[in-house]
Amino acid sequence: MKVLGIDIGGTGIKGAVVDTKKGELITERHRIPTPQPATPRAVIETVEQLVREFDWHGPVGCGFPAAIKHEIVKTASNIDASWIGLNAAAQIEKDTGCPTHLVNDVDAAGFAEMKFGAGRQENGTVIVVALGTGIGTAIFTNGVLLPNTELGQIKMNGLIAEHYAANSVRESEGLSWEVWGKRLNEYLNMVTDLFWPDLIILGGGVSKKFDHYREYIDVDTNIVPAQNRNNAGIIGAAIAAKKEGLRTV
């Protein structure tokens, strides 16, 4: 089954056509900068641009940086607050003509890692931690997702965790790998103390630089970088759309 997977992030909106049986991109990935401000109209127009780029008329799976319930946006930490309460899937389908399913972006990345990546055949509790503009999380127990965990919003040192340890903070504050790695270590230890996972998978673009900060991570569980890297959100959004049973091509 082929699905157009779209990953909406705080800085970029990426898409590609995915073979959901193999978990592979079957087109080149296309990326467009996220419009600022990231209002519904501006972001949906960017999604429309991606649909036209691929001349796509089939199902769309869309990873979105917010808590999602029944296709409705419930939070807005790295997007415009005007998204809250909007049935974004229905609006995208209306504007593109493509049946659309919306899923939290890190839940989407987690689907990709659990089916085709570092969490494949992993039992027990797995936490995916995506480090980018913010910090997103996805929790799976024996392969079953607990949706919308949003553990980047827990408090650390008087701050929201993602304002202390996200990769964007490392970049904006010019932190060394050691300083940032120790901040990340604080965060991962806090999450471990709360959930006692069997495996933590680190995602986001910084996952491919794991060797730069690995030595500063001292957590009582197995930690590995994501295998699908920056394509995880695209692949997982497509998998989620397939699970939803959208009309197929």
- CATH 3.30.420.40 in the chain: give the residue spans: 2-107+231-244, 121-226
Q: How far apart are CA 73 and CA 178, in angstroms?
A: 36
The whole-model pTM stands at: 0.92
User: 70: which 2 tokens?
Assistant: 């029944």
**pLDDT value at residue 247:** 62
Instruction: Tell me the average pLDDT across 141-161.
Output: 95
**pLDDT value at residue 133:** 86
Residues linked to residue 136 through DSSP beta bridges, in sequence order: 130
Q: With respect to CATH, is domain 121-226 assigned 3.30.420.40?
A: yes
Residues 6+ away with beta carbon under 8 Å from 80: 37, 38, 39, 40
**pLDDT value at residue 11:** 84
The secondary structure of 9-75, three-state, reads CCCEEEEEEEECCCCEECCCCEEEECCCCCCHHHHHHHHHHHHHHCCCCCCEEEEECCCEECCEECC
Instruction: Tell me the average pLDDT across 219-224.
Output: 96
Superfamily of domain 2-107+231-244: ATPase, nucleotide binding domain (3.30.420.40)
pLDDT at 248 over 80: no
